[in-house]
Amino acid sequence: MRYLILAILCIGSILWFTIQPVESSWSETNISFTYAICGLSVVSIVILVLQKQCVSFSVIDTIVCLWFLYVILRAYFDPAYPCAPFCLRVIQMFTLYIGLRLLFSSTEIPERIIVAGIIICAFYEVFIGAKQIVYESSRHNLYAITGTFLNPGPYSAFLSLGLVMSSQIKKGYCLPVIFAILLPATWSRAALVSAVVCLGIIYWKQIKQRKWTLAIGGFIAMIGLYFLKQGSADGRSIIYLISLHCIGNAPIFGSGIGSFCHQYAEEMASFYHQHPSFNYQSADVIESAYNSLLQIGVEQGLIGIGFAIILVILLFMRLSKKGETLKMGLLSLLIFSMFSYPFDQLPYQIIFILIAAYAATERREIIFSKWWKSLYQKVLLPVAALGCILIFSSFVFKGIKVREKAESDYKMMAGITHSVFIDDYYELFPLMISNKHFLYDFAKMLSVDGRYNDSNAVLRMGTLVSNDPMFYVIQGNNYSEMGLPKDAENAYKKAFSIMPNRLYPLYKLMLLYEKERDIGKMTKMAQRVISFKEKIASPATREMKKKANIIANQYKINTK
């Protein structure tokens, strides 16, 4: 019993990190989490020895290890894109998986304990969300409710997860109601779809007699949800379309770890040149594919997709025997991940690994008659696992520590373009090449200081980690200042082609032609600026069109 209590405390210490405030960069939480993984692993080994249990290597373990090796080796042998933060997170999650496998092998932890821990965390998020609504204290000034997250999108996944899992608890009807009341406040269609599909499966016996009525109602509801946030839905369809084209460009191995944003921008530019009349109004700067499987496909190819699908199938097969509640919770997360980015967030990474490790574990007593197998399962495999955890954790700790310090130093200088900070930026540069905000600020600072070649070098690094057209606009500005109008023109055109609903690149082209006294191209571009249907009208776009009207009118006067 005392070992079970100790194991439960270990699970609780890991789940505690799922309700810590989520940050967009490395923080002290990530460092503490690395320590927690090491502590969990040591405790697991001690219990394993004292309980005289063994560790068996399952099929799920094989898939996890092979996928891990594929990602790490893919990043190592094809380092075209900055992906160190992603690789650090992958290693961290792999060590967590090993540690949890050791823990579940050492002590038989009932499914209800894990379910209770996840629901408690979800209920805590409900409390935080309700508090934010009452006191208007969310973590985003545009949204009333975000929980411990930075926006309501990923936050809603916790509410959906809590609703689905609590619905399977007998005589626990009040908990699902609490989650269901708060869920619509997030305005997350992905969470609603995830919850409805899972609840439909859970209560299928009760509702199957009305399946056609519910199907028609669901179809009408889907249409309503589409028109409720049509721009967002159309934007997702563009993302999915371009992502599929990216997969087609490198179907087997993908474009490389960390390549999604760059490949998306390149394919968007190519698609625009092939289909200039396509409706791009809902296109936007993105950081993910809003679909985990598509993002895996772009970066890892069909091999990565194969690993993901096989792993999910194996997990569902095992959870069908070990834990129906966890199976439905996992399903809700996976459905949500088809329309959003939960697995980019530390809390959902932890929950997924926790469920996967639980599903992969089969507790077995040591077979003393086969001494070699006993030695392998009792000593060699656990010691090797602990060694991997300690080595990987040491590497991850050092990597996160220096990057957390670099992120902290950058925040004190962010937005400042004074040349006195150039040396400081160069010092941070090796650790911050994956941070698009850092690269943009650094490039602007170099540009203001007249170091145009250096600025463009940094901007080119920025295009590897972002699809923001402003990286090309600043390049165009630099080329214009260097007296290279053709290069400037190409940069502005590239900026527009990767985001064809932005007026600014066309405006910059117009000013470039004015500067070069190319009257024909200038007036043609002025007319294009005037007739351009911008995504969102603003004082800036009105000022651009006003300037274009002045140029067009001036040209007419000069030709009389």
Question: What gap in Å lies between CA 300 and CA 312, rounded to an integer?
Answer: 17
**Stretch among 51-55, 178-182, 185-189, 316-320 having the lowest mean pLDDT:** 51-55
Comparing CA positions, the residue from 114, 143, 93, 81 lying closest to residue 8 is 114
Q: What is the DSSP string of 404-471?
A: HHHHHHHHHHTT---GGGHHHHHHHGGG-TT-HHHHHHHHHHHHHTT-HHHHHHHHHHHHHH---THH
* Span 81-105, average pLDDT: 94
Flag whether pLDDT at 125 surpasses 50.
Answer: yes
To which H or E segment does residue 392 belong?
A: helix 381-413
Comparing CA positions, the residue from 357, 349, 345 lying closest to residue 311 is 357
* Span 494-507, average pLDDT: 95
* Span 389-407, average pLDDT: 92
Question: What gap in Å lies between CA 157 and CA 335, rounded to an integer?
Answer: 10
Q: How confident is the model at residue 375 (pLDDT cuts 50, 70, 90)?
A: low
Comparing CA positions, the residue from 134, 160, 155, 186 lying closest to residue 22 is 155
Apex 152 CA angle, 147 and 157, nearest 5: 85
Higher pLDDT, 187 or 294: 294
* Span 317-333, average pLDDT: 93
Fill in the DSSP letter of residue 365.
Answer: E
The CATH number of domain 419-558, selected from 3.40.50.720, 3.40.50.300, 1.25.40.10, 2.40.37.10: 1.25.40.10
* Span 357-367, average pLDDT: 72
Q: Which segments within 5-96 are labelled E, that is strand? A: 53-54
Comparing CA positions, the residue from 201, 215, 222, 205 lying closest to residue 330 is 201
Q: How confident is the model at residue 216 (pLDDT cuts 50, 70, 90)?
A: confident
Convert the pLDDT of each residue in 269-291 to its tens digit.
999 999 999 999 888 999 999 99
The two three-digit tokens of residue 190, written as one number: 């992905």
Whether the Cβ atoms of residue 163 and residue 350 lie closer than 8 Å to each other: no
* Span 140-145, average pLDDT: 88
User: Percentage of the chain surpassing pLDDT 90?
Assistant: 66
Residue 379's pLDDT is what? Answer: 64
Q: How confident is the model at residue 374 (pLDDT cuts 50, 70, 90)?
A: low
Flag whether pLDDT at 389 surpasses 80.
Answer: yes
| CA distances to 97, 221, 453 from 443, in Å | 40, 47, 10
Residue 492's pLDDT is what? Answer: 97
DSSP reduced 3-state for 556: helix
Supply the mean pLDDT for the chain.
Answer: 89
The winner for highest mean pLDDT among 207-211, 278-282, 486-490 is 486-490
Q: Which long-range contacts (CB under 8 A, 24 or more apart) does 251-255 make?
A: 251/301, 251/302, 252/301, 252/302, 252/303, 253/74, 253/300, 253/301, 253/303, 254/74, 254/296, 254/297, 254/298, 254/299, 254/300, 254/301, 254/303, 254/304, 255/298, 255/299
Question: What gap in Å lies between CA 221 and CA 60, rounded to an integer?
Answer: 38
Q: How confident is the model at residue 118 (pLDDT cuts 50, 70, 90)?
A: very high
Residue 559's pLDDT is what? Answer: 38
Phi, psi of 541 (to 5 degrees): -70, -35
Whether the Cβ atoms of residue 526 and residue 548 lie closer than 8 Å to each other: yes
Phi, psi of 448 (to 5 degrees): -60, -35
Higher pLDDT, 178 or 117: 117
Flag whether pLDDT at 369 surpasses 50.
Answer: no
Q: What string of H, E and C letters represents the secondary structure of 238-266?
A: HHHHHHHHHHHHCCCCCCCCCCHHHHHHH
Task: Give the ranges where 203-323 is alpha helix by DSSP (H).
Answer: 204-207, 211-228, 230-249, 260-274, 292-322
Residue 378's pLDDT is what? Answer: 60
Fill in the DSSP letter of residue 291.
Answer: S
Residue 371's pLDDT is what? Answer: 43
The two three-digit tokens of residue 54, written as one number: 């063994």
Residue 234's pLDDT is what? Answer: 86
Residue 387's pLDDT is what? Answer: 85
Fill in the DSSP letter of residue 151.
Answer: S
Residue 383's pLDDT is what? Answer: 77
Question: What gap in Å lies between CA 535 and CA 412, rounded to an integer?
Answer: 33
Q: How confident is the model at residue 367 (pLDDT cuts 50, 70, 90)?
A: very low
Whether the Cβ atoms of residue 314 and residue 59 lie closer than 8 Å to each other: yes
Convert the pLDDT of each residue in 414-466 to its tens digit.
877 788 899 999 999 999 999 999 999 999 999 999 999 999 999 999 999 99
Question: What gap in Å lies between CA 386 and CA 380, rounded to an integer?
Answer: 10
Residue 337's pLDDT is what? Answer: 95
Higher pLDDT, 370 or 270: 270
Phi, psi of 365 (to 5 degrees): -80, 155
Convert the pLDDT of each residue in 165-175 to its tens digit.
999 887 667 78
Comparing CA positions, the residue from 241, 226, 6, 242 lying closest to residue 103 is 6
Comparing CA positions, the residue from 64, 59, 86 lying closest to residue 307 is 64
Question: What gap in Å lies between CA 390 and CA 45, rounded to an integer?
Answer: 13
Q: How confident is the model at residue 558 (pLDDT cuts 50, 70, 90)?
A: very low
Q: How confident is the model at residue 377 (pLDDT cuts 50, 70, 90)?
A: low
Question: What gap in Å lies between CA 451 and CA 419, rounded to an integer?
Answer: 10
The two three-digit tokens of residue 275, written as one number: 């289909």
